[in-house]
Amino acid sequence: MEDLIDLKEIAVSMVNKTYELSNGVEVNIAEDYGYTFAFGGYKRALGKCDMYQKKITISKPWAVNNLQEEHILIDTVLHEIAHAIAYEMYGDGGHGKAWKMVCRLIGYTGERTFKQDRDSTVTPPKGKYQYACPSCERIHQFYRKPKRAHSCGMCSPTFKPSLVLKLVE
């Protein structure tokens, strides 16, 4: 739990930091726009930036499972800070050109923070429903009951009936 407190301190300091953009323009999302940091309970995303409530959150279930992967959690905070800056300064809250430019300027790559096939050391929160691939036997976590069949994205980028995931009892 102490590691989680350390992570929160790091994230709060990142939110409170002044970032230099270009032409001497500096922005501090906490002071200039009132953003705060908090942990959230969601499981399907590592982080969120709520531009309306002025809050950057990191998923506590993801953080608890991945304290050893601090770099991914810090990248997630930078990813969300870039959203806040791009929205407040350029009106672009998505992953558009303004966001990508801000990413580069604040020292973030602009890449996806986490991708299961690339970051195999990252552990997602355990889902209520777990399904296994019949080919590679990889366990896929679902936090809601699937309404349709899914196939393993690691074995094939497109849906294949032969790779339909089976519920693990």
Written as one string, the DSSP assignment of the chain is -HHHHHHHHHHHHHHTS-EE-STT-EE-HHHHH--EEEEE--SS-SEEEETTTTEEEEEHHHHHHTGGGHHHHHHHHHHHHHHHHHHHHHS--SSSHHHHHHHHHHT---S-S--TTT-TT--PPPPSEEEE-TTT--EEEESS--SS--B-TTT-SS--GGGB-EE--
28 torsion bin: left (phi>0), alpha (psi -120 to 50), beta (else): beta
The C-alpha atoms of residue 83 and residue 92 are separated, in whole angstroms, by: 8
- 128-150 pLDDT, tens digit each: 999 999 999 988 889 899 999 99
List residues bridging with 22 in a β-sheet: none
Tell me the pLDDT band of 2, cut-offs 50, 70 and 90.
low
Kindly report, residue by residue over 17-74, the tens digit of the pLDDT.
888 887 678 899 999 999 999 999 988 888 999 999 999 999 999 888 887 878 888 8
Q: How far apart are CA 54 and CA 84, in angstroms?
A: 8
Residue that wins the pLDDT comparison between 87 and 70: 87
Band (120; pLDDT cuts 50, 70, 90): low
Question: Residue 100 corresponds to which tokens in the numbers above?
Answer: 């990508």
Say how far apart CA 150 and CA 57 lie, in whole Å.
Answer: 29
Torsion-angle region of 110 (φ positive above 0: left; ψ -120 to 50: alpha; else: beta): left
